[in-house]
A and B are shown apart, each in its own frame.
Chain A
Amino acid sequence: MFFGLGVLRGLMVTLKNFVTSYFMPPDRGGLFTVEYPEKRLPVIERFRNFPFLVYDKDPENPRCVACEICANECPTKCIYIEKDTDPNKKPLRRPAIFDIDITVCMNCGICEEVCPFDSIYMDHPFEVASSDRLEKLLFHKNDLLKSNDYFHKIRPTHAAAIDARRRAVEEKKKSAAVKPSETGQPPKAQNGGKP
């Protein structure tokens, strides 16, 4: 047992990595880091960040019906919803206020899972840092509303599955000629919407 051989072996490992970092690919001892603002790794489809609301055609009529299920189920209670009303103070099936305090939100994705109207989904952009936490980091309805096309762009397979299911439900409804009182019922959703 020669004192110092282990140290020499360790030194050889770092020297090897020093040398290979100049010409090897990342998985064989090359540089593993990515120079972030210039180069970016592709965002994985299932990646989830803060939520957003989906609208089909018109931002004035989002899929959200202000049922407040997500607000109730949110573990951190970061969602605040108020129903819109018509001039006669009769509540409408759309939100007047839909706020998400993303300083509180912990990106768990439970709102997305519980929403019966396929309305709220987890978003991709993660560079939301701001020095103004009251205005910039409290997302209002207008910040949150994004089109279905956008949803298709960030999560093609998930969105396609959701759309297919929605279409199937619509057709079923049409063929069964449902009574008007039942239109608000959530579409029967099993785990078909999962990507």
Chain B
Amino acid sequence: MPKSYTVQNTDLLDTQTLEVNFGPQHPSTHGVFRMFVELDGEVIVTLKPVMGYLHRNHEQIAENLTYLGIMPYTDRLDYFNAMTNNLGYAMAVEKLAGITVPERAQYIRVIVSEFTRLINHLSLVGFLLNDLGAFFTPILYAFREREKILDVFEEISGSRMMCNYLRFGGVKCDLSPAVLETMKKITRNFPKFLDEFEALLSKNEILCMRCQNVGVLPKELAVNSSITGPVLRASGINYDIRKVDRYSLYDRFRFRVPLGRKGDTYDRYYVRVLEMRESVKILEQALQDIPVGEILNPKTAPFAKAPRNFKPPVGEDYGRIESPKGELGYYVVSDGTPQPWRYHIRAPSFINLTILEDICLGHKVADAIIILGSLDIVLGEVDR
């Protein structure tokens, strides 16, 4: 991987570089993101990510809301993964206020966040293939499966994507046995779908040609730029917050963390496919032994009715989870009032995006697009 790329001029022809703006209106920048690219022919000489087109003042708005009022806003950060966003925030506040969560609620949280991981990785693979130029077929197969999971989310939380489902000390509503049965059915059928999906993609020569050895992210660079999530694990570093922090109930389930060896786009793609298979394992176990019981800590139940009475003690805390995109952290400072005094998000997409220039230099335009795709960004979370 070249750190920088110099234009090679021959003696015969005087060439110039071409400056192109990819975005903010571009079919595959995953939202309103701009790459300011200098091209030597098709090769990228410099690349500058320009962000902020989707900035909507999330943190400042949150500081003027009650703790519960922030919850629906977190849905809209990374709009593919509302449930994990909720979970990260709920965990931060629970740590701050010292709230415990009943066991059934913990199980439900694990189940929904693993389903979220399936959704996210499915749509990532689909969008990546769209960036590669496949005409919507993988994304539509992925969305076909995602639809089933979204239906479940709608059934339990009332909304398909903007779930607003978690509450401090539990979850909003209980899972009915029928929903559990649907979940089990989805989990059972999912590996079969993944096999078909992989038959379509994983061994496809064109995909291998396009993705292998493209956008290699070396271990040191990944660690130094605090990359997290599947992007980091594709580079071969064993760091999964589900294993490191063992938050919620993740130490109860048997699952393994897939690691890539090279850290190129193909590894980033395939690690996610393997992660989906591991998520299915977690889901199977969790759906098997979910206990009966409370879904909301009785101490915090009144606060769901009157959010203004919820005043965490003065202090600060940082709650983090392994969101499908990486380490999603919420930093909340309380001054004893119903509103947080400071509220900050460590958004994995944003931090994973910082290495874009380093791993794109010297590659072709087409590679930059798929590298961006494989980093898995959602602009709602990048710009906040």
Interface residues, chain A, CB within 8 Å of chain B?
3-7, 9-10, 12-14, 17, 27, 32, 44, 46-48, 69, 72-75, 106-110, 113-114, 116, 122, 189-191, 194-195
Distance of A78 from chain B, by nearest CB (Å): 12
Q: With A10-B200, A72-B308, A75-B73 given, is the CB distance from A108 to B162 under 8 Å?
A: yes
On whether the beta carbons of A7 and B204 are closer than 8 Å, the reply is yes
Number of B interface residues at 8 Å Cβ cutoff, please give it.
46
Distance of B183 from chain A, by nearest CB (Å): 15
Looking at chain B's contact residues, the main secondary structure is helix
Which 7 pairs show the lowest CB-CB distances between chains A and B? A108-B72, A6-B203, A48-B158, A75-B69, A13-B200, A46-B158, A6-B204
Contacts of B173 in A (CB 8 A): 46, 194-195
Task: List 23 A-B residue pairs with CB atoms under 8 Å apart, sorted by A's residue number.
Answer: A3-B205, A5-B205, A6-B205, A6-B208, A7-B204, A12-B199, A44-B158, A47-B158, A48-B159, A72-B308, A74-B69, A75-B69, A75-B70, A108-B72, A108-B75, A109-B159, A109-B164, A110-B68, A110-B307, A113-B172, A114-B306, A190-B301, A194-B172
- Bound-complex Cα distance A73 to B70 (A): 11
On whether the beta carbons of A44 and B200 are closer than 8 Å, the reply is no
The interface stretch among B6-14, B149-157, B315-323 is: B149-157
Contacts of B301 in A (CB 8 A): 190-191
On whether the beta carbons of A114 and B305 are closer than 8 Å, the reply is yes
On whether the beta carbons of B72 and A4 are closer than 8 Å, the reply is no
**Interfacial residues of chain B within 300-343, with CB under 8 A of chain A in the complex:** 301-302, 304-308
| Other-chain residue from B144, B189, B201 in contact with A10 (beta carbon distance below 8 A) | B201
Q: With A47-B159, A106-B72, A113-B304 given, is the CB distance from A14 to B205 under 8 Å?
A: no
On whether the beta carbons of A32 and B144 are closer than 8 Å, the reply is yes
Q: With A32-B147, A72-B308 given, is the CB distance from A44 to B155 under 8 Å?
A: yes
On whether the beta carbons of A9 and B154 are closer than 8 Å, the reply is no
- Bound-complex Cα distance A105 to B196 (A): 41
Contacts of A69 in B (CB 8 A): 306
B206 is an interface residue with CB less than 8 A from chain A: yes
Contacts of B369 in A (CB 8 A): none
Which among B70, B159, B201 has the highest number of chain A CB atoms within 10 Å?
A: B159
Distance of A154 from chain B, by nearest CB (Å): 12
On whether the beta carbons of B73 and A14 are closer than 8 Å, the reply is no
- Bound-complex Cα distance A86 to B273 (A): 66
On whether the beta carbons of B69 and A110 are closer than 8 Å, the reply is yes
Distance of B240 from chain A, by nearest CB (Å): 30
Q: Output the nearest chain B residue to A26 by Cβ-Cβ distance.
A: B144
On whether the beta carbons of A46 and B154 are closer than 8 Å, the reply is yes
On whether the beta carbons of A110 and B72 are closer than 8 Å, the reply is yes
- Bound-complex Cα distance A61 to B228 (A): 56
| Other-chain residue from A4, A14, A106, A109 in contact with B200 (beta carbon distance below 8 A) | A14
Q: With A46-B155, A47-B154 given, is the CB distance from A189 to B305 under 8 Å?
A: yes
- Extra 13 A-B pairs, beta carbons < 8 Å, given A13-B196, A75-B65: A12-B199, A13-B200, A44-B158, A46-B154, A46-B157, A46-B173, A75-B69, A107-B159, A108-B162, A110-B72, A110-B164, A114-B305, A191-B301
B66 is an interface residue with CB less than 8 A from chain A: yes
Contacts of B66 in A (CB 8 A): 73
- Bound-complex Cα distance A75 to B305 (A): 14
B296 is an interface residue with CB less than 8 A from chain A: yes
- Bound-complex Cα distance A9 to B206 (A): 12
- Bound-complex Cα distance A114 to B305 (A): 4
Distance of A108 from chain B, by nearest CB (Å): 3
On whether the beta carbons of A7 and B205 are closer than 8 Å, the reply is yes
- Bound-complex Cα distance A27 to B308 (A): 46
- Bound-complex Cα distance A122 to B159 (A): 11
Mask for B352-384, Cβ within 8 A of A = 1, else 0? 000000000000000000000000000000000
On whether the beta carbons of A10 and B204 are closer than 8 Å, the reply is yes
Q: Output the nearest chain B residue to A9 by Cβ-Cβ distance.
A: B199
B137 is an interface residue with CB less than 8 A from chain A: yes
- Bound-complex Cα distance A194 to B141 (A): 35
On whether the beta carbons of A7 and B200 are closer than 8 Å, the reply is no
On whether the beta carbons of A108 and B164 are closer than 8 Å, the reply is yes
Contacts of A113 in B (CB 8 A): 172, 304-305
Distance of A29 from chain B, by nearest CB (Å): 9
Q: With A47-B159, A75-B65 given, is the CB distance from A114 to B137 under 8 Å?
A: no
- Bound-complex Cα distance A75 to B199 (A): 46
- Bound-complex Cα distance A104 to B232 (A): 38
- Bound-complex Cα distance A9 to B205 (A): 10
- Bound-complex Cα distance A189 to B304 (A): 11
Q: Output the nearest chain A residue to B70 by Cβ-Cβ distance.
A: A75
On whether the beta carbons of A75 and B72 are closer than 8 Å, the reply is yes
- Bound-complex Cα distance A13 to B162 (A): 33
On whether the beta carbons of B305 and A116 are closer than 8 Å, the reply is yes
Contacts of B68 in A (CB 8 A): 73, 110
- Bound-complex Cα distance A116 to B302 (A): 11
Contacts of B203 in A (CB 8 A): 5-6, 9
- Bound-complex Cα distance A6 to B141 (A): 18
- Bound-complex Cα distance A30 to B155 (A): 24
On whether the beta carbons of B307 and A73 are closer than 8 Å, the reply is yes
On whether the beta carbons of B205 and A13 are closer than 8 Å, the reply is no
Contacts of A10 in B (CB 8 A): 199-201, 204
On whether the beta carbons of B69 and A106 are closer than 8 Å, the reply is no
